[in-house]
Structure formats: structure tokens, C-alpha cells
Structure 1
């Protein structure tokens, strides 16, 4: 590939020469090499070829064993297409980082001995890894070994020659945390050594087990949460199972936030807790609105379940109908193939003289019967899709009506959430009006800061801000209502369209198969007729 000691690049010519050389030595022989393609090669030895970079290996898709040892390679790359690799040898190179192995999910043996690697990383996809050789690298911390704890198939490890191997109880530590290990640093691990390691690191093992159990618990909780969020989104009621919508309405309402932070002021010698009044009105609004949201949320989950049951019922019916038609098609094809087999056994002379047109008629009848069955299947499935469309339209419509009853923002339509918002707005208006009067008279407002007083001194501004907040609250409700209705209707339309497109593809494929089948037997009849 290059002169002695010189770094080299992999070329196609060099690869072909190496493959030819390996196969001539092997059982395939010289005659086989000339016809050999790269994608057929299963083992490739590129060791000691002065290679500086891994490249041009993408065609070796059947490769199971690859040797790249004793080269000048600095980066692990160019291996992603070699998805059938089970053994990879990159020992005695200049590699500094483990990378580029994500697609090698079948890899069982990985040899990275005598490199410059300082971290165990990027091996997560190698679930089938049985043997890992990391001898003579620069791994420092023994705790790094815990990265491999979840590799359940590991039987052989080699870390000798790394700084971490100099730590006290290095071998016992690894053996304790890897109970399934059979070989460590080229040495078989006997039962007595395993027992000694288990006793010595008993407390650490218990702690690790507890940590793993807690981690697994959190992982399961996260999966459950993600699954729940997905379900809520599919039911179009995400973020309605609590006070999220209420909090969204008030998140960007600076006036409401400031009013709730105002300290007590007095009016007519009596305590007049403005902040408490505002807070109580807000909490009452929040509690009632949250209840309505949860009610819609629960309704949404029930409706989602009903829609899903309807879709599942469609697919069940589709499978049964298709299976019934396919059974009849199979019987027709079987009968014709039997007929044709008997025909070929007849005398060619008899067939040509008396039977040619009759046999052609039989093929035409078969084609007609197959097309009739396909038309019947099309009609039945179209009817089923229409029925599903009507059912889903009714369900989605009913659910949207329920949502609109809870969020009725159209003119002259007053119901629960808007009514709550209106009541809240009116009560806050009343409280602010009284406060403005007290601030104007400078009566009992000594505890108010100057910036808060300024809010109430400008009646037009504060009332304008309150009106704007009210309109923004209603707009937030309307946006959420529109989102629910739009997504629900879009889902229904997409669902039906997808079924129709899938059925159209199936129909075209079936018609193509029938045409090819008939053409084939027409050619066969023509051959017999000659």
C-alpha cells in the first residue's frame, strides 16, 4: 500500500489486491476471486498496511470480521455501513477517542488495545458486546468501569497497562461489579476470587443496587409521563388536567400580579385588605376554572378511547373481509394451476387441434373472477371507510361541541368559563374602583409605596389595563378552544385520507399482480400451442 514506514490511504486498487490475496490463500481459489464483489467479502485483514485513515469500506456490507491493527489510524470513522460486523480489531493505532460505532449493533468483539484512549464512551449501542480489550491505553479512573455495568453480555475485559490498573484492589473491584465476567486481563476468574470480591465490596454493591433501582424507577416514571403526555396530545386535551390554562392566561398579566402584591390599606377606619380581596377572587376563579378544565380533560380521554375503539373495529373488519376474499382468490388460482398442470401432461397435438380456444376461455374466466372479487373487496372497504368517516365525524363533532359549551366564545353565548372570567373581571373592577377613590383622597393608604399609588392615580390607565387583561384572558380561552377543534378535525381528515390512500395502493398492486399472472399463463399457453 506504501513504502515501509510511510503512511498510506486506502484505494480501491489496493483493496482489490488485498481481497484477491486473501482469497487466493483461502479455500475460494483464484477462479472465485475474479468474480468476487466487495459486498460478498465477510472477512478483511488490513493489519500492518500503514493506513492513516479508515475509508472506502462502505461496499463491504457483508463484512463480519475486520482487522485494522498495527496502523497509524487516529480517528474511528468510515465504519457506519458495516452493520454486520461482529469483530473489530483496531489495536496498536493512535486513536484518542471511541466514536463512530453507533450502527454496529451486532458487534461482539472490540479490540482497542495499545491506543491513546482516555475515556470509556459512545459504546451504548453495542448491546451484544462480549469482549472488550482496552489494554495499554490511558484510562485513569477506576470508577469509569461502571459505564460498562449495563453491558449484560460482557464475558471478557482487559484493562491492564492503564493507570487505573495500578489502583488498589483493581481486579477485585472489577470482578465484584461484573459478576458474569469470565476473563479479566487474560486470566480466568475462578469461583473463589468472585466470592472474595463480593465480600470485599459488599457495601458498595448494595449502594450501587440502590442507585440503579432509583435510576430505573425514575426512568420508568419518565416513560410513564411521556406516554401520558402522548395520550393527552392524541386526545387533544394536553395541559387541561390542572390549572395550566389559568396560569397561562395570567402569566403575562402584570396588572394582576402587581395588584396581588399590594399590602393592606384601610378605609373608613376598617382594615381594607386589597391584596387579599384580589387574591381570594383570583383563587376562586382558578379553582372553578381548573375544575372545568379537568372535566373536559376526562371527557377527552373517554372520547379518545371511543374513537380508538372505532378505528380498531374498522381494522378488524378490514382484515376479516380481506382474508375472506383472498381465500376465494387462492382457491381460484389453485384450481387453475391444477387445471394447467393437467393440461401440460396432455398430448401437444390434441391440445393444438381441439383445445386451444377453450383453454384461453378458461384463463379469461379466471381473470374475470379475480377482477370481480377485487371489485367486491374495493366496494366493501369503501363502504367501511365511509362508515368509519361518519362515525368519527359524529364523535369528533360531539367532543368539539362539548368543548365549545365549556369555552363558548361566540357572540351572545355565555357559559361556564367566560362567565367565570366576566365575574372575575367585574369584581376586580369594583375593588380597583374603591381603591382609586381611597388613593385619590389619600385616605388610609399610608402603607402603599409610591409606585403602587401611581398605578391608582391614573384611573383611565388602570381601567384600560384591566380591560386589556380581560380581553387577553378571553383570547387565550378562544385560542385553546380553536386549537382543540382544529386538531380534532384535522386528525379525523388525516385518518380517513390515509386509509383511502393505503387502499388505493393495495388495489393498484393487486390489479398489477392479476395482470402479470394472466400474462404469464398466456405465454405458457402460447408455448404449448406452438
Structure 2
């Protein structure tokens, strides 16, 4: 490791030099240097013994699978987020103190952090494919910290030699018991006798670990299931409408309504509102899921029709090219053998005319396809528009029901509170009133303002939820149709370019024909 030289940064000059050093030699190397190397295509890179302090500027190496950064003076793991294809990473013999910056390297199988200053195994949860881990000559002291490695189900080779924990009398037994799938520890095969002894010694702690890990796994699987369900609700635009979520959200910022809810009579009124509101929300939810299935079915039918039309057109074009080849396949050879200029000119003209006719035929097919797809897209756009309109009409009608329920609740609550006010003023409610409630029931204006403020908050929440739903589905429809038109335009341009390229190739064949000289 370089200790006295000035630290280096990973710049373009260093990267170019490293690529050239590791590239082909001799004539092949000269040609590669002349033509240039696309850094995105590089799969292996050595940057060892470069006195590098900071990892940087590696974003260009998108295809990198192997990276060697050992024997530098790196202090922090960073700048690796774009190297998502990395399988092998060597950061040994550096000055790293903390494991970090590896979350994006989900394909990593072999990681070496040998001879650094690391004191804890952490921040590697995303390395699900890790098979080999070299952590020798670091500052690891805790055997308990090794339990962290149980999450790496494919880990088979582990090096921890040279760490303080490796001097512990229980070290090998602890590892053998807690990492049952490990094959090699510190460059040696894990002895089965050691494993048997370890399993007996740590039996109860391992059973507890297995139990806790099972609970964690079940919890994680349930959370993943909930997330998948939520994602499916979101694409249907009815997330959190399968229950009292909307009702409960009405009171999250409603201080007056929450205070009033402590009164038994108001609580009973709220229960009724809650039940009816939840019922309507559930109707919206179920309708939204079914309508999402309709939209998915419509998209599937459209894509099928689109692909069928394109395939049929492509087959027609291929047939015309085949007919051209069968008619003119031998013509070029005949032209190369003709010695009379007059016959040569006539045959060449015939070939050129056939090429022109082929081009017209292929372009006419493309024009026909464009017209056909335009009709298919127009019908699709109409169908999507009708589906969205139908969805919004039904949902907005149901949201109007929720607003009606809120208005009815508001009227009943106001009437109830005014009646309670009379009793409060008569001193009949002293035992049932908290100081917060008593501050509302001082006069008629105060309680009316409090109930009205609660009502305004509720109506705003309902309106916002409806606006959110309307905006999302309208944006979806707009983006969907725009993408369809954009994709069709790109397809058309690509097809026309393909036709022109093919026709140019046919004409170049004629232009480059090696004909016999006139005798």
C-alpha cells in the first residue's frame, strides 16, 4: 500500500490507462486503441496499487462484473451504485472502517474486505447471492456479530482469520453452530466432528434463533403480501378504500370533532356514520378492482389486435421479398457474365425497375398498416375513454353518497350539540364534561363554529380523495394513449428505415457488380 505518495483520484486518464493496460496486446491492441473502446462493454477492471483514496467516476462501466480495487488507501465504500452487474469485488488492503455503499450490488457473489479496519459486520442485507466473504485481518471482536451472516443462505466460504474474535476459544464451535451451511472457514473445510460438538453445545440458543428467524420470516412474508395487495389496489386507484380508512382520515386533523366524540351521544352518532361510510367505500373498492380487470382485458385485446396486424403485414412483406429473390436471385450473376453492353444495360434497367417496384410494394404495405393501426388505435382510444368515463361516473356517484352522509351527520351533530348546550348552560352536564369540551359549550356561536369547522375538514378530505382518484385515472389514460401513438410512430420510422436500408443494399449490389469488360 502506498503511504507516502500523493493520493490519486479515479479520473478519465487513469481509467483509459487501466483499460489499455488490460486490453489486447500487439496488433489487436493497436487496432483497439485506434477504434476506441466502449467503456459500457468492459466486464473486468483492475485498479489495484493506484494509491486511490476515493472511489469515483465508475458509472460508465455499466457491464462490469469484476472490479479489483485492492492495495489502495480507500477509506469509504462509495461510488458503486451503478455497477449493478458486479459479481466479484476486491477491496482488500485499504483503510475502510465501515461496511456501506453495497446495497445496489445484488448480484455480488464474491466480496473481499481483507486487511481493513472494519469492526462490525453490517449493511450487507441486499447481497442475497453472496457465496464467498473474506473479512480476515480486520477489527472484528464480537462472536455474536457473526449471527448477522445467517441471512446469507448461499454463503459457503468465509475468512475471519486475523481478527481478535478468531482468538476466542469458542470461535470455531460458534461459527460451525451458527452457520450450518458454511463449507470452508479460514481456508479449511469445516470439520463435521466440530459441527456435531457445536450443535450440542449451542443447541438451545440455535433453537431460539431458528424460532425467532421463523417468526421474522413469517412477518416479512406477510408484509410482502400486504405490499403486493396494496400495489394491486393502487393500480386500480382504490387503495385504502377497503375499510374505515377514509372515515378515520376525516378525524386525523379534526380537533373539534375528536373532542366531541368523547360524548356518549356523539360517539353513537359517529358509529352510525362510520358504518355507512365504510360500506360505501367498500362498494367503491370492489367496483374499482372489477373495473381494473376490464381495463386490463381491453389492453390485452388491443395488444393482440395490434400484434396480429403487424405480423400479417410483415409476412406479406417477407413474401414480396421472397418473390423478388426468386425472380432476381440469379440475375446479378447473369449480369456479371454478360459482355455485350446493350444487353447489360437492358438487364440492369430491368433489375433497377424490379428494385423500385419492390420498394413501392413494401412502402405501400407499410402505408396500409399505418392506416389499419390508426383505426385500431382510434377504437382503442374510444374504448379507454368510455371505460374511464364509466368508472368516474360510478365512483363520483358513490363519493357523492359519502358527502351526503357527511352532510346528514353534520346536521344531526349540530342539532345534538345545540341540545347539549342547553343542558350545559343549565348545569345538567357538569359531570360528563371535560375542560376541553366545556370550552366548546360556552355559547351557541362557539359550538356552531366548532361543528362547522369539523364539517369543513371532512368535506375537504372527501373532495381531495375524489380529486386524487380522478386525476390518477385521467393521467393513466392520457399517458397510455400518448405511449401508443409514440410507439406506433417509432415503429413506422423504424420500418421505413429498414425498407430504405434494404433497397439501398440491393442497389449497391448492382452498382458494385464486377462485369466483364467489353471485348
TM-score range, shorter chain: 0.7 to 0.9
Distance 2:67 2:98 in 1: 19
Shift of 1:438: 2.6
Cα–Cα, structure 1 residues 499 and 194, in superposed 2: closer, same or farther, change >3 Å? same
Distance 1:124 1:74 in 2: 21
Aligned to 2:182: 181
Structure 1 residue corresponding to 2:323, chosen from 326, 335, 339? 335
Aligned to 1:9: 8
Aligned to 1:460: 445
Contact 2:418 2:447 in 1 (8 A): no
Distance 2:502 2:463 in 1: 58
Q: Give the gaps of 5 or more residues in structure 2.
A: none
Shift of 1:83: 6.6
Query: CA-to-partner distance for each residue in 1:475-494, whole Å, 9 max, x for gaps?
Result: 43333333323322332222
Shift of 1:106: 5.5
SS at match of 1:528: coil
Does residue 405 of structure 1 match 2:397?
A: yes
Aligned to 2:121: 120
SS at match of 1:457: coil
SS at match of 2:220: helix
Distance 2:65 2:402 in 1: 65
Cα–Cα, structure 1 residues 230 and 15, in superposed 2: closer, same or farther, change >3 Å? closer
Distance 1:371 1:114 in 2: 66
Does residue 313 of structure 1 match 2:301?
A: yes
Aligned to 1:524: 509
Shift of 1:299: 0.8
Shift of 1:283: 0.8
Distance 2:265 2:61 in 1: 76
Cα–Cα, structure 1 residues 438 and 204, in superposed 2: closer, same or farther, change >3 Å? closer
Distance 1:307 1:153 in 2: 42
Distance 2:55 2:116 in 1: 15
Does residue 153 of structure 1 match 2:145?
A: no
Aligned to 1:412: none
Contact 1:96 1:115 in 2 (8 A): yes
Distance 1:451 1:79 in 2: 56
Contact 1:7 1:72 in 2 (8 A): no
Does residue 395 of structure 1 match 2:387?
A: yes
Shift of 1:181: 2.4
Structure 2 residue corresponding to 1:301, chosen from 272, 289, 292? 289
Aligned to 1:136: 137
SS at match of 1:241: coil
Greater alpha carbon shift after TM alignment, 115-124 vs 512-521: 115-124
Query: CA-to-partner distance for each residue in 1:73-102, whole Å, 9 max, x for gaps?
Result: 434456667677654444333332334445
Distance 1:475 1:18 in 2: 62
Shift of 1:336: 2.7
Distance 1:167 1:60 in 2: 42
Cα–Cα, structure 1 residues 375 and 189, in superposed 2: closer, same or farther, change >3 Å? same
Cα–Cα, structure 1 residues 333 and 178, in superposed 2: closer, same or farther, change >3 Å? farther
TM-score (norm 1): 0.83
Distance 2:12 2:435 in 1: 82
Aligned to 1:377: 369
Distance 1:501 1:323 in 2: 19
Cα–Cα, structure 1 residues 125 and 384, in superposed 2: closer, same or farther, change >3 Å? same
Distance 1:488 1:18 in 2: 51
Greater alpha carbon shift after TM alignment, 424-433 vs 198-207: 198-207
Cα–Cα, structure 1 residues 182 and 340, in superposed 2: closer, same or farther, change >3 Å? farther
Alignment of 1:19-168 (within 5 A): 34=30, 37=33, 68-77=69-78, 87-102=88-103, 107-168=108-169
Distance 1:420 1:19 in 2: 71
Distance 2:463 2:17 in 1: 72
Aligned to 1:200: 201
Query: CA-to-partner distance for each residue in 1:236-280, whole Å, 9 max, x for gaps?
Result: 21221111222222333333323232xxxxxxxxxxxxx222111
Aligned to 1:269: none
Does residue 209 of structure 1 match 2:210?
A: yes
Aligned to 1:279: 267
Aligned to 2:485: 500
Shift of 1:294: 0.7
Shift of 1:107: 4.6
TM-score (norm 2): 0.84
Shift of 1:328: 2.0
Cα–Cα, structure 1 residues 108 and 489, in superposed 2: closer, same or farther, change >3 Å? closer
Cα–Cα, structure 1 residues 187 and 389, in superposed 2: closer, same or farther, change >3 Å? same
Greater alpha carbon shift after TM alignment, 433-442 vs 155-164: 433-442
Cα–Cα, structure 1 residues 20 and 433, in superposed 2: closer, same or farther, change >3 Å? closer
Alignment of 1:449-488 (within 5 A): 452-488=437-473
Pairwise CA RMSD: 3.5
Alignment of 1:397-436 (within 5 A): 397-408=389-400, 416-436=401-421
Contact 1:7 1:51 in 2 (8 A): no
Contact 2:79 2:101 in 1 (8 A): yes
Shift of 1:18: 8.0
